[in-house]
């Protein structure tokens, strides 16, 4: 009798199991897609498991398999959607992946519909550019762009950053063996201290660095993102700061910058000259109505600029070192090109005049000065940024229902502009995973280079980042040689791509 009852249960469970599996597999489809009566349909794609969506799949490709491109490639192969839109469910939200130049352009250019949504933006303060929209955003952007992205702003910055970069390279050669990422972080932060608030290496700069680490950890504390910000030092102060809450870190950071701001006000009253750094730049700039930024705006945006510019610049510098180590022919060519430039100048720094030409020279079709002869340097910068894919994707949220080329993007859904896919798509770049600066001899197809995003939110630090990279590569190639200790080290893709050993290299003078 008991045996019959057990059999009955077993049959029932086994019979129901496929239905349960199907229900779990299609739950999100039923929940989000079923019942949508619009003429426009949702883009193809699968929404994954209830609540989790496709996040486990995303982590599988990015973290376990370490083949991040296959996450979107697999959709592209399966659904063959030429428009470049896929539906999914990621990081707790129903989402649309936009992964063609046209769709990302559409998203970037319709800022009123697709609202930028950085994770945990409130940590950066209520006056930060990244939480502003429309006129308020435009006003702050104008000030920031004037302070860090115009040729007249970049010239003094080039003078400030160059000596630190050359001093850092000297010290790397003395060490003989370095972890490139640790060193590029160090020199980037020294430059940030100097650039933003005239803070020189020492205890105050070390404290600032630790506070920024605490703040970035807070920003990263997203449900599905790990906290991967590794800090090499483990001294007691670091541990204490990492234990602090991110808002405390921001408060303390602002206190340090506020004290500096007050000192400058007093100095100005006593006729002390401007320091020509970004704090003075942001304070002095006037908007269209002739108003200066308020103190709170200056402070919140300095914190934002450091968060946005610190790790991104350090990582891209590390990637330049990494790619050039793996591409000896490119390194040789760039060495010849830059040594010629250096000899003409008796081995000195690149001048500010050359820097501004260099910045222009990178734009295909606008080579203003063939005599400058640093085309390859500019191309190495662009190729490094394309391959590094520091931002794999950007976040937006649809503020209303939208129809695009017959597909519906529902109100409230996240829209992810998937830069990685565009940069690694063989339709846009031949042999896309090879480091080939010569490809930049030809103008790129419009919209296929998105390392800095696009539209109203395109990175306002893009010229600054490019210039710092160009200066680093120039001095590296002219005077140094280096070799990866673990050329086959695995690449970790979260939170940003980097070799797991941080690119350890033997480093010496030529």
Region from 160-168, 236-244, 390-398, 489-497 binding ligand HEM, contact rule CB under 6 A: 390-398
The rounded distance, in Å, linking the Cα atoms of 439 and 418 is 22
Nearer CB in complex with ligand HEM: 307/376: 307
Query: Interface with ligand HEM includes 391 (CB under 6 A)?
Result: yes
d(CA 374, CA 321): 18
- Region binding ligand HEM by CB under 6 A among candidate stretches 263-271, 385-393, 434-442, 487-495: 385-393
Among 48, 461, 497, 502, binds ligand HEM (CB under 6 A): 461
**DSSP-assigned beta bridge partners for residue 499:** 491
Question: Residue 32 has what DSSP assignment?
Answer: I
List 342, 394, 477, 495, residue binding ligand HEM (CB under 6 A): 394
Q: Which is nearer to ligand HEM, 47 or 196 (CB)?
A: 196
Q: Which string of x and - marks every residue 462-481 that binds ligand HEM (by CB under 6 A)?
A: --xx----------------
What minimum distance in Å lies between the beta carbon of 390 and ligand HEM?
A: 4
Query: Rounded CA gap, 282 and 385, in Å?
Result: 27
Residues 418-457 that bind ligand HEM (CB under 6 A): 451-453, 457
Report in angstroms how near the CB of residue 232 gets to ligand HEM at its nearest. Answer: 21
Q: Give a three-class secondary structure readout of 149-194.
A: CCHHHHHHHHHHHHHHHHHHHHHHHHHCEEEHHHHHHHHHHHHHHH
Per-residue contact string for residues 145-164; x = within reach of ligand HEM by CB under 6 A: ---x----------------
In whole angstroms, the minimum distance from the beta carbon of 339 to ligand HEM comes to 26
* Min dist. Cβ of residue 310 to ligand HEM (A): 8
Could you identify the residue written with the tokens 């140094």? Answer: 480
Rg (CA), the chain: 25
* Contact present, 505 and 482 (Cβ < 8 Å): yes
Residues 116, 244: Cα–Cα separation, whole Å: 28
As measured in angstroms, the least distance from the Cβ of 242 to ligand HEM is 24
Residue 181 near ligand HEM by CB under 6 A: no
Does 101 contact ligand HEM by CB under 6 A?
no
Using rule CB under 6 A, residue 316 touches ligand HEM? yes
Name the minimum Å distance from CB 263 to ligand HEM.
22
User: With contact defined as beta carbons under 8 Å apart, do 216 and 205 qualify?
Assistant: no
Considering the complex, state which of residue 162 and residue 342 has its C-beta at the smaller distance from ligand HEM: 162
Contact present, 374 and 361 (Cβ < 8 Å): yes
Considering beta carbons, is residue 42 or 419 the nearer one to ligand HEM? Answer: 419
What's the residue count for the chain? Answer: 510
- Give the nearer residue to ligand HEM in terms of CB position, either 88 or 312: 312
Enter the tokens of residue 71: 């996450």
Q: Could you say which residues in the range 111-130 bind ligand HEM, by CB under 6 A?
A: 116, 129-130
Left (φ > 0), alpha (ψ -120 to 50) or beta: where does 348 sit?
beta
CB 469 within 8 A of CB 161: no
Which CB sits closer to ligand HEM, 28 or 304? Answer: 304
Q: 388, exposed or middle or buried, with CB in 10 Å at 0-12, 13-18, 19+?
A: buried
| Beta-bridge partner residues of 89 | 94
What is the per-residue burial (b if ≥16 Cβ within 10 Å, else e) of 208-229? Answer: bbbbbbbbbbbbbeeeeeeeeb
Return d(Cα 111, Cα 457) in angstroms, integer. Answer: 8
Query: In angstroms, what is the minimal distance from the CB of 384 to ligand HEM?
Result: 9
Q: Specify the residue, 84 or 460, whose C-beta has the smaller distance to ligand HEM.
A: 460
Upper half-sphere CA count for residue 166 (Cβ side, 13 Å): 13
Q: How far is the CB of 307 from ligand HEM (least distance, A)?
A: 8
Q: Is 256 in the site for ligand HEM (CB under 6 A)?
A: no
Count the neighbouring beta carbons within 10 Å of the beta carbon of residue 500: 11
Pairing of strands 407-409, 402-404: antiparallel
Closest distance of CB 335 from ligand HEM, Å: 23
Task: Extract the tokens encoding 403.
Answer: 């129809």
> Which token pair is 18?
């496929």
The answer to the question of whether 378 is labelled as a binding residue is: no
By CB under 6 A, tell whether 312 contacts ligand HEM. yes
Considering CB under 6 A, how many residues would be counted as binding ligand HEM?
25
Listing DSSP states for 129-140 in one string gives GGG--HHHHHHH
308 near ligand HEM (CB under 6 A): yes
Residue nearest to ligand HEM (CB): 461
Q: Does 188 help bind ligand HEM (rule: CB under 6 A)?
A: no
Nearer to ligand HEM, 334 or 385 (CB): 385
Q: 443 by DSSP, 3-state: which?
A: coil
| Closer residue to ligand HEM in complex, CB, 374/387 | 387
Which residues does the annotation place in the binding site?
A: 459
Residues within the interface to ligand HEM (CB under 6 A): 116, 129-130, 141, 148, 304-305, 308-309, 312-313, 316, 385, 390-391, 394, 451-453, 457, 459-461, 464-465
Which residues does the annotation place in the binding site for heme?
A: 459
């Amino acid at each position: 009798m008991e045996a019959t009852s057990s059999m009955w249960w077993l049959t029932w469970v086994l019979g129901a199991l496929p239905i349960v599996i199907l229900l779990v597999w299609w739950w999100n489809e039923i929940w989000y897609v079923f019942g949508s009566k619009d003429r426009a349909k949702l883009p193809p794609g699968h929404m994954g498991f209830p609540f989790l969506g496709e996040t486990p799949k995303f982590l599988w490709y990015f973290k376990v398999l370490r083949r991040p491109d296959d996450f979107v490639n697999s959709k592209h192969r399966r659904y063959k959607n030429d428009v470049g839109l896929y539906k999914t469910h990621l990081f707790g939200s129903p989402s649309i992946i936009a992964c063609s130049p046209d769709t990302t352009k559409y998203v970037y250019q319709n800022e009123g519909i697709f609202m930028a949504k950085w994770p945990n933006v409130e940590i950066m303060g209520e006056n930060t550019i990244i939480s502003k929209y429309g006129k308020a955003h435009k006003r702050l952007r104008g000030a920031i762009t004037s302070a860090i992205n115009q040729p007249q702003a970049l010239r003094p910055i080039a003078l400030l950053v160059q000596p630190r970069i050359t001093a850092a390279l000297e010290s790397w050669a003395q060490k003989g063996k370095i972890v490139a990422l640790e060193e590029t972080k160090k020199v980037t932060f020294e430059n940030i201290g100097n650039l933003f608030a005239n803070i020189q290496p020492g205890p105050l700069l070390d404290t600032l660095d630790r506070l920024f680490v605490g703040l970035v950890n807070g920003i990263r504390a997203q449900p599905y993102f790990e906290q991967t910000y590794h800090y090499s030092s483990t001294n007691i102060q670091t541990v204490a700061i990492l234990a602090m809450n991110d808002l405390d870190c921001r408060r303390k950071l602002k206190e340090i910058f506020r004290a500096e701001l007050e000192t400058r006000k007093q100095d100005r009253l006593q006729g002390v000259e401007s320091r020509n750094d970004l704090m003075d730049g942001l304070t002095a700039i006037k908007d269209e109505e002739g108003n200066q930024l308020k103190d709170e705006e200056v402070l919140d945006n300095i914190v934002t600029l450091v968060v946005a510019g610190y790790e991104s610049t350090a990582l891209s510098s590390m990637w330049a070192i990494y790619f050039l180590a793996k591409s000896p022919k490119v390194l040789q060519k760039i060495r010849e090109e830059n040594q010629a430039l250096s000899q003409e100048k008796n081995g000195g720094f690149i001048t500010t005049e050359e820097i501004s030409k260099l910045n222009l020279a990178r734009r295909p079709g606008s080579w203003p000065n063939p005599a400058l002869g640093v085309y390859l340097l500019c191309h190495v910068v662009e190729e490094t940024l394309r391959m590094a894919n520091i931002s794999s994707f950007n976040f937006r949220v649809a503020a209303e229902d939208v129809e695009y080329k017959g597909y519906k993007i529902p109100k409230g859904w996240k829209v992810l502009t998937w830069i990685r896919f565009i940069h690694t798509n063989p339709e846009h770049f031949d042999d896309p995973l090879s480091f080939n600066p010569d490809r930049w001899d030809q103008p790129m197809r419009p919209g296929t280079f998105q390392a800095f995003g696009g539209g109203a939110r395109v990175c306002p630090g893009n010229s600054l980042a490019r210039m710092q990279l160009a200066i680093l590569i120039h001095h590296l190639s002219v005077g140094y040689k280096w070799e990866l200790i673990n050329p086959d080290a695995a690449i970790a893709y979260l939170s940003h791509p980097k070799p797991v050993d941080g690119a350890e290299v033997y480093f010496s003078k030529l």
